[in-house]
Amino acid sequence: MKHPQNLGPPRWATRLLTGWGHPDTQEEVQGDLLELYTHWVETVGERKARWRYVLSVLKLLRPLAKQTKYQYPTPERPGEEPRTTFFSSPDMLRNYLKIAWRNLVLHKAFTAINVIGLAVGLATCLLIVLFVLHELSYDRYHANADRLYRMTIHGQVGGKEINTAEVSVPAGPALIQDYSGVEAFTRLRQDGTFIVKHDHESFKEEHVVFADSNVFNIFSIPLLKGRGAGTNPKTVLTEPNTVVITETIARKYFGEQDPIGQTLTLGTAGLFRVTGVCQDVPSNTHFHYDIFGSIRSIQLRNTWLSSSCFTYVLLRPGYSINNLQAKMPELVKKYIGSEIQELFGISLAEFTRKGDVFGFHFQPVTSIHLHSDLEGEIEPNSDIKYVYIFSIIAVFILLVACINFMNLSTAGSAGRAKEVGIRKVLGSVRQQLVGQFLSESILVTFIALLVALGIVVAVLPSFNQLAGKQFGISAFTSGWMLPGILLTCLLIGLLAGSYPAFFLSAFKPVSVLKGSVRAGFRSGWLRNTLVTTQFVVSIGMIIGTLVVYQQLHFIQNKKVGFDKDQVLVLHDTYALGPKANAFRAELTKLSQVQAVTQAGYLPAGASNSGNDGFQSENGSSPTTTYREKTYYIDENYLPTLGISLAQGRNFSKAFPSDSSAVLINEAAAKRFGWKNPVGQRLSTLGNGSPESRHVYTVIGVVKDFHFESMHQRIAPLVMVYGADNYQMALRIRTTDIPGLLKTLEQRWKAQTDNPFAYSFLNERFNTVYQSEQRVGQLFGIFAGLTVLISCLGLFGLAMFTAQQRTKEIGVRKVLGASVASVVALLSKDFLKLVVIAIVIASPLAWYAMNRWLQDFAYKIDLSWWVFALAGFLAIGIALVTVSFQSIKAALTNPVKSLRSE
């Protein structure tokens, strides 16, 4: 039997010891270590022996090794420094910290500026880190997150792109039947909001979904109660009319009672029996359902060309998603070709030759929140670009804070030059001085950390409200967060204090004591560079804030093609059932109500909407099929919303033929190529049979209005005559809004015991841009903090400059210099740096904000005045900051100035 060959200790560790070990003891130490290594191999094994060898080498390196005996330089070894470092012993380290504390207390102003600047920077970074880590953690808690994908549709029909998050009902079963690499699938079907009732109480629930029975196997949402809870979650939703509810919903409806076996009425879907209780869905997931109903309880359209379910696929371990994706064309050919033939009257090959495309794709479930913006998303997702933006902001703010510290430390070296000289004469060596100055830097950083944590605790509730999150202070103690924060602070202290430490410790004692060294002179170029960098960041943030607010103002004030003010929306009017028309008639009698419409769609917020395929009727030959947005409206829709007609007329009860009439917008007229659209005919595809096709006549064209976000251009729209009782919109005219709402609620409760819910159209419209509004607010706050930190540093440098030039100022005043000339003398150098920063920051900010604006189809043009205003603001802020110290120095009695030293 062959024994494994001993590889010996790690060579890199031996070379490290050779390079960094002390030459006098190097050979002896290496021999001892080799003997120990041999012993360790025999006793604990080679792997542990190699680890012990590496640790021993690191402990013996000169920067880390303990020194038992201090040796002064001798004539035989005049250039040798004592073998000691700032980590030599606890007593030495304690002495360093004591001296560091005394120096910080002695220079209160500089210490306060450093601590406040670093604390604000650290607090901002901690909050941004919480936000970024939370965004990146979405859907990663699932046990099989790396094998879990969502199936989507990407294609093009009639020149219009199709990118939907929902797919057809039979897609999931076909995958598991045809492809062995698919382990399981589950489907989610959501049907809007539900009025849920129990024991004469009713609540509006927006997070209701119908799912396959294995939903709790696919997603890691633990069951707490129910049949098979904790062992076989598949059993809880196998039967029709069963639901699983979250803990929160269980407490809401049943209190302390056991919910298992109890019943809930879900709107018009009927009575459902509770068969399980699950944990609340975590906040870091792309769906937040509270009620999971069995998908067997509802009717599903089992066709391939209708999209109605979110379908999730779990792959078998080791199976590549690329392999499955490569097989999707054959899936389309096998199942969808026949439906295309039936619906469009052409083969799949002809369909493709016309430029139309239909395909299935898969996206990792962990990428949905930050990388998906498809039609029909479960919830509005975030955007990865904002994670990048805020991460960069965090780095910039921390960089600015560290620059402040380095600047003030190097600037303050003038006052400590003699201290360094005296210490060196008394026997201190460079390593000891480096240790002392780094100790001060690290001490300041950890003091700033304590202050930063206090700031975070104070502002966390406001930050949660602004960011739409629910962070707690406990987040900082979970996992690696606390060690990470401490390590980061240590690195900041070492990096921020490294240049001052090595710069100050390099002074020659003779030169310093003679006064021939001007401390800080050699670091002037670095200080200027750092100050310029600070203001480049600050000016860039100011420009970014101005552009974001300008774009938001543009969106909120742009003419959208309808009048969104004074429109009150009553939700869930479908609950009125047959009483809806009577209720509407009552509302029209109110003097405060000018018009009422029943509509499934309003140009903001949640609505009933769909997409239908239309063909332009041109004799007997069908032309290109276009997939267009379709809304069902009544004759009061246009006047209630203030939408104008460009051609033709509105729907009217006076024309019975309007049941086969449509209104289109100007974009649809352009899509079909009609210069005179009124009188033209459109036909729907139906299910492919001649009798299912419905022919409509265009009776009017409405002016284009923004019925979707301004991120997209106005799309073609077809409006069909037919009431939809999903919601009602009221055009009101009153100053007594509370009184009107009270009246409406009374009329509502007289018709139904369902909750009365309402909103205003302009508020709903603004929520569409809630993400941008939050970004604008956060951007403004971070820009303000960046400017504050930069000004703190500038204030400290101005203070240092005034102190350094005290005698010069005194001489100038004795010779007749005015206060204004002295202020100009002390301020001009700083203002030059700000002007340079403006020149550098402006093109960078232009590029960055131009990229951000590309996400909007309707956007502002970047104006020169934005950059000019940002520049003037920066100059003004810098001038005010510097002038305070400059004026104070200029007003000082020159006699006192000349006596100072």
Produce one character per residue of 198-235: b if its CB has 16 or more CB atoms within 10 Å, e if not. Answer: beeebebbebbbbbbbbbbbbbbbebebbbebeeebeb
In which band, very low, low, confident or very high, does the pLDDT at 34 lie, cut at 50, 70 and 90?
A: confident
**Is 758 within 8 Å of 601 (Cβ atoms)?**
no
pLDDT (0 to 100) of residue 597: 92
How many Å apart are CA 142 and CA 518, to the nearest integer? Answer: 62
| Residue (of 66, 67, 8) closest to 35 by Cα position | 8
Write the Ramachandran bin of 724: left for phi over 0, alpha for psi from -120 to 50, otherwise beta.
beta
- For the segment 207-215, the average pLDDT, to the nearest whole number, is 93
Matching residue, tokens 């094994």: 45
In which band, very low, low, confident or very high, does the pLDDT at 824 lie, cut at 50, 70 and 90?
A: confident
Residue extents of the structural domains in the chain: 11-60, 108-128+383-553+770-899, 146-371, 567-767
Among 302-306, 398-402, 723-727, 826-830, name the one with the lowest average pLDDT: 723-727
**Is 12 within 8 Å of 36 (Cβ atoms)?**
no
pLDDT (0 to 100) of residue 431: 74
- For the segment 17-24, the average pLDDT, to the nearest whole number, is 66
pLDDT (0 to 100) of residue 74: 43
Give 370-401 pLDDT, tens digit per residue: 999 888 889 888 889 889 988 988 888 888 88
Helix/strand/coil for 839? helix
Give 238-275 pLDDT, tens digit per residue: 899 999 999 999 999 998 899 998 999 998 888 999 99
Query: Is the pLDDT higher at 641 or at 229?
Result: 641
Position 894 pLDDT exceeds 80: no
Query: Is the pLDDT higher at 243 or at 41?
Result: 243
CB atoms within 10 A of CB 246: 21
- For the segment 498-520, the average pLDDT, to the nearest whole number, is 64
| Residue (of 573, 574, 576) closest to 759 by Cα position | 573
Instruction: Say which DSSP state 607 is in.
Output: -
DSSP-assigned beta bridge partners for residue 312? 150, 186
pLDDT (0 to 100) of residue 71: 45
Position 181 pLDDT exceeds 60: yes
Which of 101-105, 468-472, 494-498, 812-816 shows the highest mean pLDDT? 468-472
In which band, very low, low, confident or very high, does the pLDDT at 69 lie, cut at 50, 70 and 90?
A: very low
Position 18 pLDDT exceeds 60: yes
- For the segment 567-575, the average pLDDT, to the nearest whole number, is 87
**Is 291 within 8 Å of 266 (Cβ atoms)?**
yes
Position 62 pLDDT exceeds 70: no
Position 344 pLDDT exceeds 80: no
Query: Is the pLDDT higher at 623 or at 840?
Result: 840
pLDDT (0 to 100) of residue 136: 92
How many Å apart are CA 507 and CA 498, to the nearest integer? Answer: 15
Query: Is the pLDDT higher at 690 or at 894?
Result: 894
Position 88 pLDDT exceeds 70: no
Q: How many residues does the chain have?
A: 901
- For the segment 715-720, the average pLDDT, to the nearest whole number, is 88
Query: H or E stretch including 581?
Result: helix 580-588
Mean pLDDT, the chain, integer? 82
Instruction: Say which DSSP state 714 is in.
Output: P
**Is 834 within 8 Å of 535 (Cβ atoms)?**
yes
Give 443-484 pLDDT, tens digit per residue: 888 999 999 999 999 999 988 888 888 888 777 777 778 888
